[in-house]
Amino acid sequence: MLTITELGWFALAALLLVLTPGPNMIYCVSRTLVQGRSAGLVSLAGVLLGFVVHLMAAALGLTALLLAVPLAFDAIKLTGAAYLLWLAWQAVRPGGAAPFETRSLPVDSHATLFRMGFLTNLLNPKVAMFYLSFFPQFLHPERGNVLLQSLALGAVQISVSGAVNALIILGAGTITAFLSQSAGWLRAQRYVMGSVLAALAVRIALEEKK
């Protein structure tokens, strides 16, 4: 199974990734600014449930594929590495988007907020691609049950994402004002994101050549 050190490195990578604003964070912050912190937290709960669905689908899919075609796992890892490189380029390319912009939203009930948070995440194909490309870089089929390893990684990622986004929601007004006025911080976010993804892609590519 995965060691504490490996889980720690994965948690650090997940932290760096979540610190770069994406659709889920922007949605939750927008809800917070429109309706208050409770609305943001309810929206976040829906987003986290969406992560759980994506996680189970990815974990079961990877496990089933590995059992059916063991050699396919290497192909998945290399394809995932290529996808990570593409994401890295999207983060650092000239004019790349990572600004912390919010948008106007209507006032909705908590049930609607939860549902919209869930659907916003569930219907985002990039989340599924993230799991399928990111997880294999940390999985070790030779150590045993890939499903349990995937669920352990997913639990870490969801915990990190939930904690970070909850803190951002609680300080949404101050954080949004700071980020919107700091072009340097926005550039730093993009380059940190790009560097993490590129490093993971290079790591797995080099391992395959041993």
Please state the three-class secondary structure of 23-60 as a single string.
HHHHHHHHHHHHHCHHHHHHHHHHHHHHHHHHHHHHHH
Q: What is the mean pLDDT of residues 63-69?
A: 71
DSSP conformation class of 210: -
Q: How far is CA 173 from CA 32, 70, 169, 178, in A?
A: 9, 49, 8, 9
Amino acid code (one letter) for 173: G
Whole-number percent of the chain with pLDDT over 90: 20
Mean pLDDT (the chain) is 78
Give the pLDDT score at 14.
83
Residue 210 tokens read as: 């041993």
Residues whose CB falls within 8 Å of the CB of residue 198, separated by 6 or more in sequence, listed in order: 84, 85, 88
Contact present, 34 and 105 (Cβ < 8 Å): yes
Q: What is the mean pLDDT of residues 78-102?
A: 65
pLDDT band at 166 (very low <50, low <70, confident <90, very high): very high
For residue 98, the model assigns a pLDDT of 45
Say whether pLDDT at 209 is over 60.
no
208 vs 134, more confident: 134
| DSSP secondary structure, 120-170, as one string | HHHT-HHHHHHHHHHGGGT--GGGS-HHHHHHHHHHHHHHHHHHHHHHHHH
Indicate the pTM of the whole model. 0.73
Q: Please tell me which residue, 43 or 24, carries the higher pLDDT value.
A: 43
Question: How many Cβ atoms are within 10 Å of 142's Cβ, its own excluded?
Answer: 5
Can you give the pLDDT at residue 118?
A: 94
Residues for the chain: how many in total?
210
Considering only residues 203 and 35, tell me which one the structure prediction assigns the higher pLDDT. 35
Question: Who has greater pLDDT, 113 or 81?
Answer: 113
Provide the pLDDT confidence category of residue 6 given band limits of 50, 70 and 90: confident
User: Do residues 185 and 83 lie in contact, with contact meaning Cβ atoms separated by under 8 Å?
Assistant: no
**DSSP-derived 3-state class of residue 117:** helix
Specify the pLDDT at position 46: 96
| pLDDT over 70 at 91, yes or no | no
Q: Mutual orientation of helices 4-18 and 146-170 as an angle, nearest 10°?
A: 40
